[in-house]
C-alpha cells in the first residue's frame, strides 16, 4: 500500500461506480467514491428501461456481449444478496413484417455464439400464448431476459459497499485530476477538497470522456443521445406477461421503442433515440411523446389517455456521432502511459445488466497491479428486504405495527408507503437527503397522484421528527429548493393565523 490517503478513488456513483466500489470492498483497500449529485444513481442509472438483457444483440467477442451474458447470469445471486427486486419474465423480439425475419435468424445465431441460454424462435400461436393479443409473424423468445429496479440496484450496491467500509462523498464534483509523479493521482473538487489516490476509476458516465481528457488521455468523446419514456398507471399491471421489443433496425442508436413492465407494476413505453447537445438534457418533447403513444397503441390497444401518468428521459453516453449512428463497444481500459487510471467510457445499454461483470473485470485489472488482500469482514448481504411492507400478509403487517406504530401510518396512498419507510430512508447510513432520493428508496410519489398527496406529509414528518428546516428541502439537486421558508397567514374565513411553509416557486403553500 502507498502513503496516499486512498488506494482507489471511484468517480461517479451510478450503477457502474457503485458496483465497482462494492466489488473492491471484498479486499482490504481504502476506497472513496466521489459523486457530484446529492445521491447515488441520479444520472443515467435511474433513467432507463430496467431490463435485464440476455445478450443476443451484441457482436460476438465484444465486451458488451461477454459482460452482458455474464452479468445476466450473476444477477440472481447479486439481487438475492442485495435484496433487489428482479424478475426473469422473458422477452419476445417480434417481427411484424416479413423483411424483419432474416434479422431474427441472425440474432438467434449471434445469441448462440454469445452463450445466451434457451433461445427459441416462436411462431404466431406461441407469441399469442406468451403475450395474449400480440400479433407477429415470428419472434425470438429469450427466457433469460428480465426486469430489475435500476435505482434499487444502484442504491443496494452503494449501501452494501458503505457497510463494507467504502467512503461515499456525495455532492462532490471532480474538477481537476493530475498525475502525482510515479505514485498516483491528485484530485481536486469544485467544493475545494483535494485528495490523493493510487488508482482512479473513471465511471463518470456522460462525463467520462471529459474526465479522461482532463487526466491526459486522448481519443475519447461522448455524443449524448436521449431516450424518452411514458410511464403507465399500475391499473395495467399484469397485462404484459413478458417484454415485447421490435426487431432492431440497422444503425438505430437504440433497440427500438418497446413496452416494458417494471418490477413495481408500471409499464414503460419507450425509449426514443435522439442525439442532443447537452449531456444531461433530460427534457421530454411533445412530438416524441405523441410518437410513443402511437407506438404503444400497436402493442397495447386498450390503453387510455388517463393511463399516462408521467414521462421522463435518460441520456445514452454514445461513442458514435449522429452521422455514424449505431453502437460502439464499451471502452474499459487502463490509460496508456498513465498507470493507475481505469477509464469506463460509453457504458450505454446493457450497462445495467453488465454491472456485476464490469465490476469483476475492473477488480481483476486493479489486482494485476496491486496485491489484493481479502477483506475478511466483507459481508455480501445488504440489510433489509426486497419485499415492501404493503406487500406483506396482513398478520405480518399487524405484528410489525404492534412493535413499531410508524408502520401503521400510510404516507403515500398510491404506493402504500408508511411513515416508518420514510424515516428509514433518511435514517439509513447512506440516507436520502432529497425528495427524489426518498422516492427512489420508498416509491413515495411514484404513484398515480405523483406526490400530490404525500409530499406535504413527508415535509411534515421530516420537519417535526428530524428537524429538517423548510429551506433545506430539495427536489433533487442543490438548486431545486422546494420551499423558501415559513410565512404567517391570516385565514380569510376564520380570521385565525396559520404558520405555513411557502413554496419556492410561488406555487400553492402546504
Ligand atoms: C434510455 C436508456 C435505456 C437504457 N436501458 C437499459 C436497459 O434496459 N438495460 C441495461 O442493462 N442498460 C440500459 N441502459 C444503460 C444503463 O442505464 C447505463 O449503462 C448505466 O446506467 C450506466 O451507468 P453509469 O454508472 O456508467 O452512469 P451514470 O448512472 O450516469 O453514473 C455516472 C455518475 O457520475 C457522476 N459524475 C459525472 N461527472 C462527475 C464529476 N466530475 N465528479 C463527480 N461525479 C461525476 C454523475 O453525476 C453520475 O451519477 C439504458 C440507458 C439509457 C439512456
pLDDT in tens, 265-293: 999 999 999 999 999 999 999 999 999 99
What is the Cα–Cα distance from 163 to 481, expressed in whole angstroms? 30
Model confidence at 338, in pLDDT bands (50, 70, 90)?
A: very high
Mean pLDDT of 82-88: 97
Mean pLDDT of 190-207: 96
Which tens digits make up the pLDDT trace of 98-116? 999 999 999 999 999 999 9
| pLDDT exceeds cutoff 80 at 4 | no
DSSP letter string over 490-506? E-TTT--EEEEEEETTS
- 85 close to ligand 1 (CB < 6 Angstrom): no
Mean pLDDT of 151-170: 98
How many whole angstroms from its chain centre is CA 432? Answer: 15
Give the percent of the chain with pLDDT over 70: 95
- Cα Dmax for the chain: 77
- How far away, in angstroms, is 78 Cα from ligand 1 center? 19
Cβ atoms of 88 and 52 within 8 Å: the answer is yes
Q: Which residues pair with 180 in a beta bridge?
A: 184
Question: CB atoms < 10 A from the CB of 52, how many?
Answer: 27
Residue-level pLDDT at 492: 72
Does 53 participate in catalysis according to the annotation? yes
| pLDDT exceeds cutoff 80 at 239 | yes
Model confidence at 3, in pLDDT bands (50, 70, 90)?
A: low
Residue-level pLDDT at 471: 87
- 17 close to ligand 1 (CB < 6 Angstrom): yes
Residue-level pLDDT at 509: 36
Model confidence at 508, in pLDDT bands (50, 70, 90)?
A: very low
Structure-block grid coordinates of residue 299? 402493442
| pLDDT exceeds cutoff 80 at 376 | yes
- 12 close to ligand 1 (CB < 6 Angstrom): yes
| pLDDT exceeds cutoff 60 at 1 | no
| pLDDT exceeds cutoff 50 at 367 | yes
Which tens digits make up the pLDDT trace of 443-461? 999 998 888 889 999 999 9
Alpha helices of 221-376 — where are they, by DSSP H? 286-299, 351-367
Q: Are strands 31-35 and 167-170 parallel, antiparallel or unpaired?
A: parallel
Residue-level pLDDT at 307: 92
- 44 close to ligand 1 (CB < 6 Angstrom): yes
What is the Cα–Cα distance from 290 to 361, expressed in whole angstroms? 41
Residue-level pLDDT at 102: 96
Pocket perturbation via mutation, ligand 1, pick of 17, 20, 205 by most ligand atoms within 8 A of CB: 205
Model confidence at 253, in pLDDT bands (50, 70, 90)?
A: low
Residue ID of nearest Cα to ligand 1 atom 1: 227
Q: Which residues pair with 314 in a beta bridge?
A: 227
3 state SS of 478: coil
Give the percent of the chain with pLDDT over 90: 81
Picking from 203-207, 254-258, 417-421, which range would have the lowest pLDDT averaged per residue? 254-258
What is the Cα–Cα distance from 139 to 242, expressed in whole angstroms? 12
- 204 close to ligand 1 (CB < 6 Angstrom): yes
Residue ID of nearest Cα to ligand 1 atom 15: 349
What is the Cα–Cα distance from 380 to 364, expressed in whole angstroms? 18
Q: How many residues does the chain have?
A: 510
Residue ID of nearest Cα to ligand 1 atom 41: 174
Residue ID of nearest Cα to ligand 1 atom 27: 205
Among 35, 43, 20, 25, which residue's Cα sits nearest to residue 440?
A: 43
| pLDDT exceeds cutoff 90 at 92 | yes
Mean pLDDT of 12-34: 98
State yes or no: cis peptide before 350, omega within 30 of 0: yes
Model confidence at 481, in pLDDT bands (50, 70, 90)?
A: very high
At a CB cut-off of 8 Å and minimum separation 6, what does 11 contact? Answer: 17, 34, 174, 187, 200, 201, 202, 203, 204, 211
| pLDDT exceeds cutoff 90 at 34 | yes
DSSP letter string over 80-95? HHHT--EE---EEEEE
Residue-level pLDDT at 424: 96
| pLDDT exceeds cutoff 80 at 335 | yes
CA distances to 132, 230, 299 from 91, rounded to whole Å, are: 14, 20, 14
Residue ranges with strand state E in 124-232: 138-142, 146-148, 167-170, 174-180, 184-189, 194-202, 223-232
Cβ atoms of 259 and 240 within 8 Å: the answer is yes
State the closest ligand 1 atom to the C-alpha of 270, by its place in the atom list counted from 1. Answer: 1
DSSP letter string over 26-79? TBS--EEEEESSSSTT-SGGGSS--EE--S-SS-TTSHHHHHHHHHHHHHHHHH
| pLDDT exceeds cutoff 80 at 225 | yes
Picking from 137-151, 347-361, 437-451, which range would have the lowest pLDDT averaged per residue? 437-451
Cα torsion angle, 470, 476, 477, 481, sign: negative
What is the Cα–Cα distance from 104 to 87, expressed in whole angstroms? 24
Model confidence at 493, in pLDDT bands (50, 70, 90)?
A: confident
Residue-level pLDDT at 498: 65
Mean pLDDT of the chain: 93
3-state class percentages of the chain: helix first, strand second, coil last, to nearest 5: 35, 25, 40
Model confidence at 504, in pLDDT bands (50, 70, 90)?
A: low
Cβ atoms of 121 and 140 within 8 Å: the answer is yes
Mean pLDDT of 197-205: 98
- Report the interhelical angle of 15-24 vs 351-367 (nearest 10°): 40
What is the Cα–Cα distance from 86 to 145, expressed in whole angstroms? 10
Per-residue exposure over 351-385, b if at least 16 CB sit within 10 Å of its own CB, e if not: bbbbbbbbbbbbbeebeeebebeeeeeeeeebeee
What is the Cα–Cα distance from 196 to 179, expressed in whole angstroms? 10
| pLDDT exceeds cutoff 70 at 252 | no
What is the Cα–Cα distance from 346 to 350, expressed in whole angstroms? 11
Residue-level pLDDT at 510: 35
Model confidence at 249, in pLDDT bands (50, 70, 90)?
A: confident
Dihedral of CA atoms 124, 290, 227, 354 in degrees, nearest 10, equals: -30
- How far away, in angstroms, is 249 Cα from ligand 1 center? 24
Residue-level pLDDT at 506: 45
Which tens digits make up the pLDDT trace of 408-439? 999 999 999 999 999 999 999 999 999 999 99
What end-to-end distance do the CA atoms of the chain give, in Å? Answer: 54
Active-site residue (options: 53, 258, 407, 420): 53
Which tens digits make up the pLDDT trace of 50-79? 999 999 999 999 999 999 999 999 999 999
Mean pLDDT of 229-243: 92
Which tens digits make up the pLDDT trace of 387-402? 999 999 999 999 999 9
Cα torsion angle, 269, 274, 280, 283, sign: negative
Amino acid at each position: 500500500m502507498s502513503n496516499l490517503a486512498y488506494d482507489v478513488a471511484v468517480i461517479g456513483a451510478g450503477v457502474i461506480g457503485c458496483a465497482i466500489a462494492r466489488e473492491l470492498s471484498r479486499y482490504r483497500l481504502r476506497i472513496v467514491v466521489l459523486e457530484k449529485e446529492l445521491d447515488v444513481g441520479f444520472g443515467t442509472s435511474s433513467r432507463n428501461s430496467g431490463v435485464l438483457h440476455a445478450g443476443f444483440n451484441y457482436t460476438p467477442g465484444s465486451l458488451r456481449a461477454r459482460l452482458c451474458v455474464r452479468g445476466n447470469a450473476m444477477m440472481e445471486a447479486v439481487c438475492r444478496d442485495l435484496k433487489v427486486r428482479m424478475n426473469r419474465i422473458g422477452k419476445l423480439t417480434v417481427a411484424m413484417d416479413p423483411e424483419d425475419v432474416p434479422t431474427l435468424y441472425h440474432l438467434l445465431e449471434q445469441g448462440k455464439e454469445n452463450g445466451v441460454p434457451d433461445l427459441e424462435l416462436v411462431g404466431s400461436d406461441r407469441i399469442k400464448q406468451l403475450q395474449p393479443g400480440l400479433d407477429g409473424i415470428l419472434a425470438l423468445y429469450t427466457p433469460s431476459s428480465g426486469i430489475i429496479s435500476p435505482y434499487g440496484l444502484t442504491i443496494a450496491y452503494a449501501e452494501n459497499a458503505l457497510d463494507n467500509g467504502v467512503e461515499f462523498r456525495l455532492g462532490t464534483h471532480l474538477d481537476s485530476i493530475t498525475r502525482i509523479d510515479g505514485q498516483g493521482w491528485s484530485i481536486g473538487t469544485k467544493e475545494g477538497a483535494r485528495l490523493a489516490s493510487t488508482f482512479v476509476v473513471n465511471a463518470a458516465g456522460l462525463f467520462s470522456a471529459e474526465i479522461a481528457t482532463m487526466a491526459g488521455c486522448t481519443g475519447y468523446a461522448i455524443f449524448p443521445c436521449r431516450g424518452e419514456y411514458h410511464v403507465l398507471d399500475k391499473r395495467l399491471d399484469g397485462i404484459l406477461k413478458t417484454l415485447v421489443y421490435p426487431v432492431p433496425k440497422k444503425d438505430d442508436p437504440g433497440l427500438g421503442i418497446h413496452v416494458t413492465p417494471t418490477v413495481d407494476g408500471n409499464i414503460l413505453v419507450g425509449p426514443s433515440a435522439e442525439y442532443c447537445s447537452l449531456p444531461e438534457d433530460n427534457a421530454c418533447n411533445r412530438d416524441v411523446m405523441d410518437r410513443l403513444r402511437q407506438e404503444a397503441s400497436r402493442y397495447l390497444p386498450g390503453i387510455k389517455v388517463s393511463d399516462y401518468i408521467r414521462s421522463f428521459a435518460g441520456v445514452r453516453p454514445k461513442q458514435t456521432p449522429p452521422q455514424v449512428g449505431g453502437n460502439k463497444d464499451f471502452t474499459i481500459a487502463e490509460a496508456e502511459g498513465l498507470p493507475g487510471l481505469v477509464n469506463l467510457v460509453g457504458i450505454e445499454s446493457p450497462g445495467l445488466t453488465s454491472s456485476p461483470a464490469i465490476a469483476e473485470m475492473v477488480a481483476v485489472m486493479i489486482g494485476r497491479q496491486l496485491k489484493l488482500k481479502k477483506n475478511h469482514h466483507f459481508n455480501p448481504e445488504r440489510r433489509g428486504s426486497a419485499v415492501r411492507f404493503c406487500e406483506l400478509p396482513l398478520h405480518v403487517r399487524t405484528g410489525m405495527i404492534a412493535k413499531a406504530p410508524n408502520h401503521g401510518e400510510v404516507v403515500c396512498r398510491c404506493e402504500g408507503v408508511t411513515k416508518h419507510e420514510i424515516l428509514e430512508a433518511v435514517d439509513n447510513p447512506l440516507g436520502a437527503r432529497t425528495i427524489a432520493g426518498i422516492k427512489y428508496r420508498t416509491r413515495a410519489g411514484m404513484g398515480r397522484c405523483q406526490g400530490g398527496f404525500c409530499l406535504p406529509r413527508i415535509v411534515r414528518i421530516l420537519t417535526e421528527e428530524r428537524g429538517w428546516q423548510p429551506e433545506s428541502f430539495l427536489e433533487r439537486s442543490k438548486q431545486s429548493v422546494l420551499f423558501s421558508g415559513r410565512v404567517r397567514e391570516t385565514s380569510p374565513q376564520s380570521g385565525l393565523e396559520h404558520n405555513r411553509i411557502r413554496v419556492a416557486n410561488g406555487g400553492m403553500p402546504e
